[in-house]
Structure 1
Amino acid sequence: MLQTPFHAYYTAMKLNMLQDENTLLPVFAEGKIDVYPYQVAAALFAVRNPYQKGVILCDEAGMGKSHEAMLIISQSWYEGKNNILIAIPNPDLLIQWAEMISEKYSIPFCIASENNSFVYDGIVITTYEYLTQNIDNADKIKWDIIIFEEANSLSSVYQDENTFIRGSGSKQAKLLKEFSKNTFKILLTGTPIEKNIMDLYGLIFFIDDELLPDADTYMKTYLRRPENYPELAAKVSKYCFRTLRSQAKQYAKIPERLHITLEYEASEKEKELYKLLFAYIEKPHKIAFPQMEQYDLALMLLGLLSSSTAAIKMSLKNIIKRLYISEEKQEFEKMIAIAESITEDSKSRLLLAALEKLFPLLKRLGAKQKAVIFTESLETQKYLYGVLKDKYKTLVYNGQSNVNYNVIKQFKEDAQILISTDNGAKGYNLEESSLVINYDLLYNTLKMEQRIDRIHRINQQNDCIVLSFINKDNFADVRKLELVSKRHILSDGVFGVSDAVMGGFCDNLDKAIKSLNVRTKAQIEKDYQITLAQNENKNKQVVESAEDILFTTFTKELSDKIKITPRYAEEQSKVINDELWELTKFYFEEYNKTHQDCYFEINEKNRTIKADNYTKLPHLFYYPTNNGNKPYKAIKEFKKFSLLSPLSKGITFNISCADYGSIKADCEKCTIALYLIKIYSGRREIKNIPVLVGITEDGKLLTHNECEDILNSPVYFFEEQGERRAYWLKSEKNDNMDRLINLDEYVKKEEEKLTPMQQEEINRMKLAAANRKNILLHSLDDTELDMKQAEREKESVKSDRLKLLKIERKISSLKNEIRKKKEGLFFDEMRIDVDLENKINEFLGREKITARAARQFVLEIN
C-alpha cells in the first residue's frame, strides 16, 4: 500500500519509466494476450537500433506478427509517441486488425476514412489505396512508426516505371516509400520471397535503398545462386527477423501439420478432353495463340482442366469468340461439346468422399467440422459451391466485394465450408477450421504455405490436416509439383521453413486417412505441458538486456537469452497492476480530499472506482500527447486499469510531492533522495532513469535497492516541506545529496549499449559509399565491354581497309572515353570518400552521450 505522497511519486516514476525489456510488460499486464519468447525477441530486435530506418518481421505465417507489431506499438505509445500508422492492403484485413486491437489492446485507434482525417492521438489504420489517394494529408503528420501489413506487395518498389499511376503495383510502392522515408518502418510478411530472390531485394530497398548494391549486381550475385545464400542471409540478418514454427515449439502450443495428397484418375471423357487439348498445344501453328510459347500454353490450358471442367469450358468459350470459321474453331467446338457432356468432375467426386470421412474424424477429435477449400479459378469456385451447398453450409470468398469480411465472420461463427480464391490466403485468421484443402495446386511454395497458414496458426487448438489433389497424368499438375519442390529449397536456403506444403501421397482415401497420426485436443494440451515442463529451467529467469540479442532468427542461442515467458509476464504483470491500483487509489483519495465537485467511491474488493455526488463529471487533468496536452474527463465508473490508458498516463504525469520531507519508519536513520537521470544522445533525450541514493548517519552509502527496501518499511508519520510539484516542475537547486550521483557511470553504461549500434550505422554509411562507387564503375564497365567488342571486330576484319579504319577510329574514341571516365572516376570516388568521412564525423559528434541528474525529492528517515 502506498503510504505517502513520496511513495506515490516514486511509484508513478517507476511505472512511467520502465527500463529496457520491461517496457514491453504493460501490454502483458492487460491480461488479454499470451506472450511467447520469440515474439519478445522480435520486438526487441525491431527497437534495438535507434539509427535504423526499419525492419522486416517475417515469421512463418500464423506465428503472430500482428502481435509483435502491437508490442512495438505499445512500446512507442508507452514512451509518449502517439502518431502511429498501420497500412493494410485491403479493407477486409483492416477490419480484422481493428477487431484484434479492440479486443486485445487498450490503445485508442481510428480508421482513416472520408469522415476521419489522419490527425489522431493513437493508432490510425488505413488501406494502401486510401493512403496513396490522400498522401498529401497523411504527409502533414510526423509519424513515429508506420506498420506495413502484407508488405510483400511492396517488393516491386525498385523496378523502373515509365509512367506514374497512383495506386498500382510498383508505382504505389514507390509513393509509399517516399512518404515513409523519414519514419521508422516495420514491414510484416510471412512470404519475403514469393517469386524469386529479387522480392527480398525490394523489401530491403523499401526500408533503405543504400543497404544493398544496385539491382543488377544483386541479381547477378544471388539469383539462382544458392551457394551465395549464406552470404545474403548474413547481410539481411540485421534487418530481418524470422521465427520458424520448429524453433518456437518448445515455448508455444503449435499443432502438427499432417498431409494427404490424393492421386486421382480422370474419367474417360476428361481424358478425351485432355488429349484434344494436348494435341492442339503441340501444333506448330495456332491461330488463337500465335505468340504464346508451347510450355506456357500447356500450363495454362491443362492447369484449367485440372482445376475443373467448368474452368476450361469457360476459357474455351472465350477463345472461340475471337476465331472466325476455321478448322481450329471446329477443334475448340468439339472440346466444348465434350466439356458440356461432363456433369461431374472426378476430382469433385473425390472431394465429397473425403469430406464425408474427414468431418466425422474432426468431430471425434474435438475439432469443429469446418474446412477451407482453395481454388485458383472463379469458375471452379462457382462449380464447387453448386456441388457442396446442399450438403454443407457453404460460403464463397473471392475478395471482389466490399462485404467480403462478413463472409469471413460468418464462416468463423456458423458455416462449415469456405471456398476461397487465393485472396483469402492473405493474412486472415481462420483457426476455427483445422482442415484446409488445396483443390488446385499452385506453382509457388510460399503461396501454398500462405493457404495452409490460415489454419496452421499459434491459436490453433487442433492438429491441422492438409488435403491436396493431384492428377499424375496431367502435365500442369506434375510441373506445379516440381516447381513447388524447387522453390521450397530456395526459401529454406535463405530464410528456412518448418513444414512441407505437400506430402502423404496416396491413391487410396481410406488408407490415407488411417495413416494420419492426428491427436485429440486433450493429447495436444498434454504434450504441450510436457514441453513446457522440460523447458522450465530456461523459462523462469529474467530477461537479459536488449543489446545482447543476436540477430536474425529465434535460434537456440537467442532463446536462451529471452526469458519473458507466460509465467514471467504473469508475475511481473501482477506487480505492475498492484502498483498501478495503489497509485490510482492514492490519486482519487487525494482528489476526494481537495475537491467538492465529485466524490469517487473506491471499491477495494472489486478494484473499481465509481463517481458519486456530482452535477457533471469533472475534468481530472491534462495528459501529454504528441499534439500537446489533452484534457481528460472522468467517467461514471472505472473498471479496468491499464498502464497504456490515458487515465494512467495522466495520473503518472500529474502525481506530485514536495521537494523535501521526513518520515518516521522502522529502520535506521538516514537520508534518501530520488533523482531522475536524463540520458541524451546529442540534444535528443533518449532515456529517463529513476534512481534512489542514500546515506546513513554514520556516512555509509546506500544502494538503490537498499533505499527501496527502506521505503517499503511501515511508515508511522510523514511531513512535507514546501509545495507539491509534478516532476516536470521540480526545481534544480543544489543539494548535498547531489554528490552521491555518478553521472559518468550512466554515460558509460549507455555508451556500451549504443557503441555497437553506432558502429553498425557507420558500417552502413561505408557500405552505401561502396555501393555508390560500384554504380560509377558500372558505367566504366559498359564502355570497356564496347571496347572489347570493337577489338574483336577489328580482329575479324582482314581485307576491308575502309571498315578497318572505321573500327580503329571507334577504338580510339572509346579509349579516350575510358581515359576521361577513369579520371572522372578518381575524383568522384575521392568526393565520395570525403563525403563519407564528413558524415561519420558529423554523426559521432551529433550522437555524443551525456547525462544530467534532476533531483525529485529528499527524505529524512527518522
Structure 2
Amino acid sequence: MLACLPELPFEPHDYQVQTAKRVLRDMDCRALIADEVGLGKTIEAGLIIKEMIATGQAKKVLILTPASLVQQWWSELNEKFGLNFWVSRKGPWAWSGNFVIGSLDKAKREEHSTLILENKYDLVVIDEAHKLKNRKTGNWTFVSKLNTSGLVLLTATPLHNKLEEVYNLVCLLKPELFPDYTSFLNHYQLNPKSLISEMREKLQDVMIRNLTRELGVKNISRKVSLIPVDTTELDKQIYAKIKLYPGTFLSLLLRKEFCSSYSALYDTLQKKGDTEILALLEECDISAKLKNLEMILRNHKGKILVFTEYIQTQHYIARYLMMHNIRFILFNGKLGRNQKEWVKHLFEKRDIPVMICTDSGSQGLNFQYCDVIVNFDLPWNPMKVEQRIGRIDRIGQKSSNVYIYNFIMKDTIEEKIFSVLGEKITLFNECIGELDKILVDNEAELYSMMSKM
C-alpha cells in the first residue's frame, strides 16, 4: 500500500498503484512507463510524485512536458493529488522553485538550462518522452545532463522507427544495461534478431507496459477500416509528372502532398513556379477522399476527429465542409496556448461535429467524447497513428466501439507508406510488446496486404 492513498480524493486503478510501487521499490525510481495510450500515465506519475513527497523522499521535483500539456498537468496534479506546482512561463528565475512544471522546449534553451542544470533534483518526470529518442538532438543532450536521483519517462510509443531509439531512452535511465553506443550499433547490424530478443529481456528491468486487453479497464473495441481511394486519369497524369522531379526527397514530398490534397501540392508547386502541373491541378475535380469523408461524416452522428499532416489540406477539407453546410473547427500548431484551450472548449460544448487536426492535436489531448477518427493521410510513423487514436481510445470513453478510418490512395506512395508502417509495427511488437490495431481490423489482413505491395 502507498502511504499517500488515503489522502487522495479519488480511487486509482489497481494497476496504476502497482506501477507506482514497482517504480519506487524495484526500479530505484528510474523507469520508462510505456502503457498503451489512454491508460493514465499521468495518474501513475502523480502517484509516484505524491508518495515521494508524502514520505519525505522528494523535496525538489521537476516535470517537463510539451508546452501544450503544461496547463493540463498542473490541473491534474492540483485537482487529483492536491499538489500545487509552480508553472514556469516567463524568465529563467521561475525554475528555481522546489516543485516546477515547464515545457521541455523552453527548459533546454541556454538561458533556462544553465539554471536548471545547477539544481539537484530528487525526481524529474518527462512526458511524451519519445521526443528524447534521438541522442543527437538538444532534447536528449539536455536531459542527459540533468542532476537527478529519480527519472521517470512517460510514453506509449518508445519505439517509432528503429531499435536505436529505445537504446537512447534506456541510456538516460540505466546506461549500464547496454554496451556503449558504437558496440550496440555494430552488434545490431550483425545480429538484428538476437539483439531484439536481448533488448526485450533487458527492458524488463527498466520498462513497465500495461496493456488494455490484459487489464480489462477499458471495454472499448477498435473498428479499423482501410479505405482505398481511386485515382482518375488526370490524377495519374499529374502523379507521373511529379515522380520525375529531380531529387529523391523532393519527389517523395510532392507525392505525399498529392496524396493528401491537391491544395497541399499546389502550394508547393506554386513556390517552384511549375506552371504546367499547376494548370493540370486547376482542372481536377473534387478529390475522392473528400467524398469518402463526407460519407463517413453523414453516417456517424457523434463528434469526429479528422487528422492530416498538412495545414493546406486542413483548409482544403474545411472549404469542402463549408460548401456542404457541415460545421467544423480547426486545431493546429499555429494556435496559441489560450486559443487551443478555447477551441477544445468549443468543440466539446458546442454543436460542432468535426474537428480537423494536424498532428499538434495528436499528443496528450483528451477527446473521450468523440468515437471516430479519420486519418485523411497516413504518416510514415505508425506511432503517430497510435497517438492519434489514443485521443479517443482511453479511459472515460463512453462508447463501446471507436471507429478508425484510414484513407489510402491506390497506386501511389501511400501504398508504400502502408507497407512500411506494417514493418515498423512488427518491430514494435517484437521488441516492446503488442500494439493494438491501427491500420486494419486484423493482423492477417495487414500481412496479406503488405505482401501485395
Task: Give TM-score, length-normalised by structure 2.
Answer: 0.89
Q: Which residue is equivalent to 1:195?
A: 161
How far residue 182 of structure 1 moved from its aligned partner, in angstroms, is 3.3
Runs (4+) off by over 4 Å: none
Q: Secondary structure at the match of 1:86?
A: strand
Stretches of structure 2 that go unaligned for 5 or more consecutive residues are: 443-453
Aligned to 1:226: 193
What is the match of residue 388 of structure 1?
321
- 2:410 pairs with 1:472: yes
- Alignment partner for residue 297 of structure 2, among 355, 369, 388? 355
CA contact (8 A) 2:131 2:139 kept: no
Unaligned stretches of 5+ in structure 1? 1-20, 160-169, 321-331, 360-368, 506-862
Shift in Å at residue 41 of structure 1?
2.2
Work out which of the residue numbers 117, 127, 140 in structure 1 matches 2:94.
Answer: 117
Counterpart pick for 1:177 among 105, 125, 144 = 144
- Partner residue in 2 for 1:486: 423
1:275 and 2:223 matched = no
Rounded to whole Å, the distance in 1 between the matches of 2:213 and 2:218 is: 11
Letter in 1 for 2:388: R
Say whether residues 1:106 and 2:82 are aligned partners: yes
Cα distance in structure 2, aligned partners of 1:298 and 1:478: 16
CA contact (8 A) 1:118 1:141 kept: no
1:318 aligned partner:
271
- Match for residue 406 of structure 1? 342
SS in 2 for 1:137: helix
Identity %: 25
2:288 matched residue in structure 1: 346
Distance 1:155 1:264, change over 3 A: closer
Are 1:58 and 1:190, in contact at CA under 8 Å, matched by a contact in 2? yes
Letter in 2 for 1:153: K
Hey, what does 2:393 align to over in structure 1?
A: 456
Does the aligned pair in 2 maintain the 1:89–1:128 contact within 8 Å?
yes
When residues 254 and 216 of structure 1 are mapped into structure 2, their CA distance, relative to the original with a 3 A threshold, is: farther
Residues 350/175 of structure 1: CA separation in 2 closer, same or farther (3 Å cut):
same
Give the aligned residue type for 1:114. Answer: K
Size of the aligned set, in residue pairs, is 432
2:123 to 145, 153, 157: 145
| Match status 1:445 vs 2:398 | no
1:373 to 292, 296, 306: 306
Determine whether 1:155 maps to 2:147. no
Aligned to 1:205: 171
Residues 37 and 268 of structure 1: is their aligned pair in 2 closer, same or farther, counting only changes over 3 Å?
A: same
**1:238 offset after TM fit, Å?**
0.6
Per the TM alignment, residue 119 of structure 1 is displaced from its structure 2 partner at its CA by: 4.1
Correspondence for 1:57: 33
Structure whose CA Rg is larger: 1
TM-score after normalising by structure 1? 0.48
- 1:266 equivalent in alignment to 2:231: yes
- SS of alignment partner, residue 464 of structure 1: strand
Whole-angstrom CA distance in 1 between matches of 2:326 and 2:9: 38
Cα deviation for residue 213 of structure 1 reads: 1.1
CA RMSD of aligned residues (A): 2.2
C-alpha contact 1:84 1:124 (8 A) present in aligned 2:
yes
Matched, 1:306 2:284: no
Preserved CA contact (<8 Å) 1:60 1:497? no
Equivalent pair of 1:260/1:466 in contact (CA under 8 Å): yes
- Quick one: which amino acid aligns to residue 87 of structure 1? L
Q: Which amino acid aligns with 1:234?
A: E
Q: CA deviation at 1:24?
A: 4.6
Q: Deviations over 1:363-410 (max 9, x none)?
A: xxxxxx211111011110111111224633312122223233332333
Work out whether residues 226 and 490 of structure 1, in 8 Å CA contact, stay in contact via their aligned partners in 2.
no
TM-fit CA distance, 1:334: 2.2
Match of 2:222 in 1: 257
Equivalent runs, 1:630-669 vs 2, <5 Å: none
Tell me, what secondary structure is at the counterpart of 2:264? helix
Alpha-carbon distance between aligned partners in 2 of 1:100 and 1:388, rounded to the nearest angstrom: 35
2: CA distance between counterparts of 1:149 and 1:58?
11
d(CA) in 1 for partners of 2:322, 2:80: 35
1:457-501, CA deviations, whole angstroms, 9 ceiling, x for partnerless residues? 122121210011112222x11101101111110000011124121
Match of 1:238 among 205, 210, 222: 205
Give CA-to-partner distance per residue, 1:406-438, whole Å, 9 cap, x none: 323332332321111112112211212111110
* Mapping of residues 419-434 of structure 1, within 5 Å: 419-434=356-371
User: Contact (CA 8 Å) 1:260, 1:467: kept in 2 or not?
Assistant: yes
**8 Å contact kept, 1:396–1:418:** yes
Q: Conserved in 1, the CA contact under 8 Å of 2:122 and 2:148?
A: no
Aligned partners of 2:105, 2:239: CA distance in 1, in Å? 42
- Cα distance per residue 1:196-225 (max 9 Å; x no partner): 111101111122433321222212333682
Instruction: Give the partner amino acid of 2:329.
Output: L
Q: 1:182 to 1:110 in 2, by over 3 A?
A: closer
Q: Aligned residue for 1:129?
A: 105
Preserved contact between residue 246 and residue 498 of structure 1 (Cα < 8 Å)? no
Partner of 2:447: none
- Structure 2 CA distance for aligned equivalents of residues 264 and 129 of structure 1: 39
Instruction: Return the alpha-carbon distance in structure 2 between the equivalents of residues 489 and 106 of structure 1.
Output: 42
